[in-house]
Chain A
Amino acid sequence: MLLKYGNHAQRAQHLPGIARGEVRWCQGYSEPNAGSDLANLQLKAERDGDEFVLNGQKIWTSHAHLSDWIYCLARTDPNAPKKQMGISVILADLDTPGITVRRIDLISGYSPFCETFFDNVRVPVANLVGKENEGWTIAKAILGHERSSIGRSIARQPGSAQREVVARARKHLGVVEGAIPDPLLRDEVAALGMREEAFHLTLARIQQGAESGTPGPEGSITKIVGTELKQKRFELGMKVAGVQGLGWEGPGFDDDDLEYTRDWLRSRASTIEGGSSEIQKNIVSKRVLGLPEGGK
């Protein structure tokens, strides 16, 4: 974001620290009432001389408790005619007085996310990225980047989802004449393996299309397919484990199974974060299929 939208001073101030791995950043986008409807965000940023005064709350700020800086979407013009207007991107040092970070426990027991509260937080106007009230364009560009990187990060190694589930099936169900003994489960594993291969071939096709200068519309579906594939993989991995997949902690369960169960629970978030599958489908139906705008 800084590379593309930051000014010279901002890049000089922040990029070296990021490049050296010394300064960590988190993203302040979502709010309790601005999830899928992100443009509804309410974090207030009021001009006071050469400072912005921030008041409000961000949620799902990944790793905010470990971060040094945050880039926020804030409402700089509450009277703008459309809610997408009047939004600005503002940078804040998390050590600034008035900022409080609280971790959120997920169903998996992990806490990768935080809530971040702003109470009369004063940051210099120089921390505004891009033009005031025109932050929505930047926000959308970064979300697009995030979605494609989620799609790709899920990709992992081709065939690895199938290998993982087959290994768990062997561990928990045994092997009869080389095969997973339950033919219905075997069918489900094969369906997963096929889906995984189709997904990887599609990623390859998208990349080849982009390299040849003729990108197709398929890029829009990678987040949907990739996250559903990830969930299916964990569901099957849980299914083949039977009751051994039910452990939370403690005796009677091995560490691999305990960790797998936590990861299965964590995977439920993948079709929500970074734009839910339903929001992705709205975008594809409008931008790719050209279907008319309707009620949400």
Chain B
Amino acid sequence: MSGHRAPSLLLNDEQKMLSKTAHEFIRERAPAGRIRTFRDSEDQVGFSRELWNEMAELGWLGLQIPEEYDGLGLGFFDLCVVLEQSGRELMPEPFVSTLLLGTQALLLGGTEAQKKTLLPGIAAGETLVTVGYEEGGRHGDHSKVETVARESAGGFELSGEKIQVLDGHLADRIIVSAATSDADFTLFMVDPVQSGVTITRQNRIDGLNSAIVRLDRVSIGRDSIVGDLDGGAKLLRAVFDRASVGLAAQMLGGSEQAFADTIEYIKEREQFGVPIGSFQALQHRSVSVFTEIALTRSVVLAAARAIDEAPDDVPKLASLAKATASETFLHAAKEAIQMHGGIGVTDEHDIGFYIKRAQAAYMTFGTPSQHRQRWAELHGY
């Protein structure tokens, strides 16, 4: 932000209502403990299709999708209002894969045909689109891509392996990065039913669903290119910026809920004949978490607003939001366990799910130190 007339960081009346409705719906229908149920029942889907469809009917999945593709045509800011609430209960539904990766890749780089084919289904809750970008041994550097796309008669032939592709086990389309020249890579739309595609489900700590996607000489046409040929790095960066902000909104929600549960707990739990929340050692730790959450809320709202209104500010603010929310969520989750004491480290209590999600989110779309490095570069030092 250079000019520094601060953007509006408040929710309007409709957004406040949306936030309240989403909060109540999610708290009642999607408590964090579902993560345990999906895990222990070895559920093949790993989330609730039924709930996803209901949210589609409420209009939440198409909030930001333009009306011409059957969405509501509102802003990314509105989407973040729902994402924050989904984060409070660590929902494993495909928000990140489909609404943050797939949808943003389509909106930013998709052809008219691709958008027409996929966006209405996304808004309706029927279609899942994800992006496969992670490869082994890269440690968060997505600029170098081992998967290759060789030009062939009708288009390209893709070979390589993507790991931890979010919702790759169910996605209707997987957008993958593949090297097309020495200098750059390209994003390609792959239909997983094609021959040469092998999907292997993975299990992570955080309850999000993911899969290894193996591509063995998968033939696709030129119309499968998303964005420009050799333009993958720039497009993926832009997708990550938006996805970072959306994920930061979820992390904000996760931090708030872990903190709220902790405050409630230390008001009730008694030791030495008094509530442990009366001890200054815990009070000051609590205020630190409260402070970090307040700061995080400001940067998340500013970054979400910039996506809708000030595109030039997005790179800086996205890095600010991702770095800040990552640190805050992990801090809030660690403090939540510490202040819950023994019960906090048992699988029986839900509070332990927060640190797992926090660690996963911290590592996704760039770590805080990677974003600080980018921030320094963007500020010319």
Contacts and interface: CB of A to CB of B under 8 A. Distances in A.
A187 B8 CA distance: 29
B280 A295 contact: yes
Given A190-B373, A292-B274, A284 B6 contact: no
Interface string A150-186: 0000000011001000100110000100111001001
Contacts of B287: 221, 224, 281, 284-285, 289
Contact of B263 (A189, A291, A294): A291
Interface in A218-254: 218, 221, 224-225
Contacts of B6: 200-201, 204-205, 208
Contacts of B8: 208
B373 A186 contact: yes
Contact of A278 (B263, B266, B284, B291): B284
A289 B284 CA distance: 11
A205 B283 contact: no
Contacts of A195: 295
Nearest to B10: A208
Interface string B321-338: 001100000000000000
Contacts of B380: 178
B298 A205 contact: yes
B367 to A, nearest CB: 11
B297 interface: yes
A161 to B, nearest CB: 12
Contact of A178 (B1, B320, B381): B381
A294 B320 contact: no
B298 to A, nearest CB: 4
A198 B284 contact: no
Contacts of B101: none
Given A194-B375, A198-B299, A294-B278, A281 B283 contact: yes
A204 B280 contact: no
Interface in A255-296: 278, 281-282, 284-286, 288-296
A289 B320 contact: no
A197 B320 contact: yes
A292 B275 CA distance: 7
A107 B373 CA distance: 35
B45 interface: no
Contact of A194 (B282, B283, B302, B323): B323
A190 B296 CA distance: 16
Nearest to A178: B380
**Contact count band on A:** 35 or more
A180 B376 CA distance: 9
Given A190-B376, A225-B295, A284 B290 contact: yes
Interface string B221-254: 0000000000000000000000000000000000
Contacts of A178: 380-381
B372 interface: yes
A186 B381 contact: yes
Contacts of A281: 283-284, 287-288
Nearest to A166: B381
Contact of A209 (B10, B280, B288, B290): B10
Interface residues of B, number: 43
B204 interface: no
A183 B8 CA distance: 34
A290 B267 contact: yes
Interface of A is mostly: helix
Nearest to A201: B298
B290 A193 contact: no
B62 to A, nearest CB: 28
B139 interface: no
Contacts of B267: 290-292
Interface in B191-217: none
B4 A158 contact: yes
Contact of A224 (B275, B291, B296, B297): B291
Contacts of A66: none
Contacts of A288: 290
Interface string A13-45: 000000000000000000000000000000000
B270 to A, nearest CB: 10
B284 A285 contact: yes
A12 B1 CA distance: 46
Given A166-B379, A197-B1, A294-B278, 18 more contacts: A175-B381, A178-B380, A179-B377, A187-B369, A190-B373, A194-B323, A197-B320, A198-B295, A198-B296, A198-B298, A201-B302, A281-B288, A289-B287, A291-B263, A292-B274, A294-B283, A295-B280, A296-B280
12 contacts: A191-B372, A193-B376, A201-B9, A205-B9, A221-B291, A221-B294, A224-B287, A281-B284, A284-B287, A285-B284, A289-B263, A292-B267
Interface of A: 158-159, 162, 166, 169-170, 175, 178-180, 183, 186-187, 189-191, 193-195, 197-202, 204-205, 208-209, 212, 214, 218, 221, 224-225, 278, 281-282, 284-286, 288-296
Interface of B: 1, 4, 6, 8-10, 263, 266-267, 274-275, 277-280, 282-284, 286-288, 290-291, 294-299, 301-302, 320, 323-324, 369, 372-373, 375-377, 379-381
| Interface pairs A-B: 8 shortest CB-CB | A294-B278, A204-B6, A285-B283, A190-B372, A201-B298, A205-B9, A292-B278, A202-B298
